[in-house]
C-alpha cells in the first residue's frame, strides 16, 4: 500500500485523492485549510461525471497542515494540487516537511511552464513529475462538482541527479495506480513538456483574456474579441511553441477556438480567482511563456500587454490580502 500526501485539496485535488483511494493500492493524507472543519465533520459530497455521487466521502486521513501530515510519513508520493504562485509563496518550502529525499516522488498537478525547476533544485534526490490535467471541477465548502471527464497525462521531468530508469519506473507506477482507480484516462507521457505546451494554448489565451475582460469564454467571442484578441494571442503562442521545437497541427489556433463554442458560459479558473480576490497564476501561465519567447526572439505584443496588465492586477490582489 503506497503512502501518499496530497497538498491542495480543491476540486482537482479532491478528485485525485478519490481516484488514488479507489485504486485500493494507496492511502491518501489530504492537507486541507479553509474547509478543514467542515470536511472533518461531514466529509466531501461529490457529484462526478467519472465517479458518480458520493456523500460524506473522506480520504484515509485529513489534516490541517503539512506539518501535521508529516507525522504520517514517510510518503512515497507527494501530490501538489495547489496553484503554482511563485510570486506569492514557495511550493518547495511548503511541501518540504512531507518530502523525504530519496524516498518521496513529487507529482505536480499544476498549470504552466518551468514549474518543475525549483522542485528539482530543492529536492535533487527525488523524482519530479507532472500531471497535466484536463478536466472541469468546482468546489464550494465540502461539495465538489466534477463536470468534465478527466484526462491526465503524467511524465517525469528528467534530471541528472537520478538514473533515468528510476525516474521512469517511479512515474509509471503512479500512472498504474491512477489507472487502477479509474475510469480516468491517465496516460504515461515520455515528453511531458509537450503536453504542458499544448495545454498552454487554451490557458494562455482564454484564461488570461477572460480574466482581463471579465467575460466568460462565450461572451469573449460573441462580443468581438475573437479577431482583435483571441486569434492573435493564440497565433503568438503557436509561434513560440514552434520556435521552442514543439510541432503542433497547423490548424491548432482554429481548433482551440472551435473547441470552445461561443454558446459556452464557462468562466476560466483565473477569472474565478479574480472574482474571489485570490492571486492569479500569471507567472506559470504567461510569465514562463514570455521568458521563452524572449529567449527565442519571438515578438508577442498581445500576450506581453496582457501579462503587464495582469501583473498590476496581481499586485492589487496581494496588497489587499496583506491588509486583511
Q: Which CATH number belongs to the domain containing residue 123 in this structure? A: 3.40.50.720
| pLDDT band at 138; cut points 50, 70, 90 | confident
What pLDDT is stored for residue 135 in this prediction? 86
Across residues 183-190, what is the average pLDDT?
A: 89
Q: Which one, of 300, 8, 14, 19, lies nearest residue 174 by Cα?
A: 19
Instruction: Report the chain's mean pLDDT, rounded to a whole number.
Output: 95
Give 140-149 pLDDT, tens digit per residue. 999 999 988 8
Residues 172 and 221 in one domain: no
For residue 322, pLDDT over 90 is answered with no
Give 33-87 pLDDT, tens digit per residue. 889 999 999 999 999 988 999 999 999 999 999 999 999 999 999 999 999 999 9
Residues 209 and 102 in one domain: no
Domain with 215 in it: what CATH number?
A: 1.10.1040.10
Residues 204 and 290 in one domain: yes
Q: Which one, of 164, 163, 162, 137, lies nearest residue 148 by Cα?
A: 137
Residues 183 and 199 in one domain: no
Question: Which one of 133, 168, 190 terminates a domain?
Answer: 190
What's the CA gap between 75 and 102, in Å, rounded?
A: 11
Residues 73 and 105 in one domain: yes
Residues 107 and 177 in one domain: yes
Q: Using alpha carbons only, what angle is made at residue 101 by residues 14 and 20, rounded to the nearest 5 degrees?
A: 25
What pLDDT is stored for residue 148 in this prediction? 85
Residues 198 and 176 in one domain: no
What pLDDT is stored for residue 147 in this prediction? 87
Q: Which one, of 181, 297, 303, lies nearest residue 237 by Cα?
A: 303
Give 79-131 pLDDT, tens digit per residue. 999 999 999 999 999 999 999 999 999 999 999 999 999 999 999 999 999 99
Across residues 244-267, what is the average pLDDT?
A: 94
Residues 150 and 243 in one domain: no
For residue 176, pLDDT over 90 is answered with yes
Residues 87 and 227 in one domain: no
What pLDDT is stored for residue 321 in this prediction? 86
Give 193-238 pLDDT, tens digit per residue. 999 999 999 999 999 999 999 999 999 999 999 999 999 999 999 9
For residue 184, pLDDT over 90 is answered with no
What pLDDT is stored for residue 323 in this prediction? 79
Residues 7 and 155 in one domain: yes
In total, how many domains does the chain have?
2
For the chain, what is the largest distance between any 2 Cα atoms, rounded to a whole number of angstroms? 54
Structural domain including 29 reads: 2-190
Residues 185 and 203 in one domain: no
Question: Which one of 136, 162, 190 terminates a domain?
Answer: 190
Q: Which one, of 220, 234, 231, 232, lies nearest residue 262 by Cα?
A: 220
What lies within 8 Å, CB to CB, of 12 at 6+ separation is: 81, 109, 133, 135, 137
Residues 161 and 231 in one domain: no
Percent above pLDDT 70 for the chain: 100
Across residues 246-256, what is the average pLDDT?
A: 95
Question: Which one of 161, 190, 219 terminates a domain?
Answer: 190
For residue 187, pLDDT over 90 is answered with yes
For residue 183, pLDDT over 80 is answered with no
Give 230-247 pLDDT, tens digit per residue. 999 999 999 999 999 999
Amino acid at each position: 500500500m503506497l503512502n501518499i500526501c496530497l497538498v491542495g485539496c480543491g476540486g482537482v485535488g479532491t478528485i485525485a485523492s478519490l481516484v488514488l483511494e479507489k485504486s485500493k493500492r494507496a492511502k491518501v493524507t489530504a492537507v486541507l485549510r479553509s474547509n478543514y472543519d467542515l470536511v472533518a465533520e461531514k466529509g466531501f459530497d461529490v457529484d462526478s461525471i467519472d465517479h458518480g455521487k458520493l456523500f460524506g466521502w473522506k480520504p484515509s486521513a485529513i489534516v490541517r497542515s503539512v506539518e501535521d501530515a508529516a507525522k504520517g510519513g514517510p510518503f512515497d508520493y507527494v501530490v501538489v494540487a495547489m496553484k503554482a504562485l511563485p510570486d506569492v509563496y514557495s511550493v518547495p518550502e511548503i511541501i518540504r516537511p512531507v518530502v523525504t529525499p530519496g524516498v518521496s516522488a513529487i507529482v505536480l498537478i499544476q498549470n504552466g511552464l518551468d514549474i518543475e525547476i525549483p522542485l528539482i533544485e530543492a529536492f535533487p534526490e527525488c523524482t519530479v513529475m507532472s500531471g497535466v490535467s484536463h478536466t472541469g471541477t468546482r468546489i464550494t465548502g465540502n461539495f465538489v462538482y466534477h463536470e468534465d471527464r478527466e484526462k491526465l497525462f503524467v511524465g517525469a521531468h528528467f534530471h541528472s541527479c537520478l538514473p533515468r530508469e528510476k525516474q521512469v519506473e517511479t512515474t509509471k507506477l503512479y500512472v498504474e495506480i491512477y489507472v487502477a482507480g479509474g475510469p480516468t484516462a491517465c496516460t504515461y507521457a515520455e515528453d511531458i513538456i509537450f503536453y504542458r505546451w499544448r495545454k498552454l494554448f487554451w490557458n494562455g489565451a482564454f484564461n488570461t483574456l477572460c480574466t482581463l475582460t471579465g467575460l466568460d469564454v462565450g461572451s469573449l467571442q460573441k462580443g468581438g474579441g475573437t479577431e482583435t484578441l483571441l486569434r492573435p494571442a493564440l497565433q503568438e503562442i503557436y509561434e513560440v511553441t514552434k520556435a521552442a521545437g514543439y510541432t503542433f497541427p497547423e490548424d491548432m489556433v482554429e481548433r482551440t477556438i472551435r473547441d470552445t463554442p461561443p454558446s459556452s458560459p464557462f468562466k476560466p479558473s483565473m477569472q474565478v480567482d479574480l472574482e474571489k480576490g485570490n492571486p492569479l497564476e500569471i507567472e506559470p501561465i504567461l510569465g514562463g511563456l514570455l521568458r521563452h519567447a524572449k529567449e527565442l526572439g519571438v515578438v508577442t505584443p498581445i500576450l506581453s500587454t496582457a501579462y503587464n496588465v495582469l501583473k498590476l492586477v496581481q499586485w492589487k490582489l496581494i496588497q489587499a490580502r496583506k491588509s486583511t
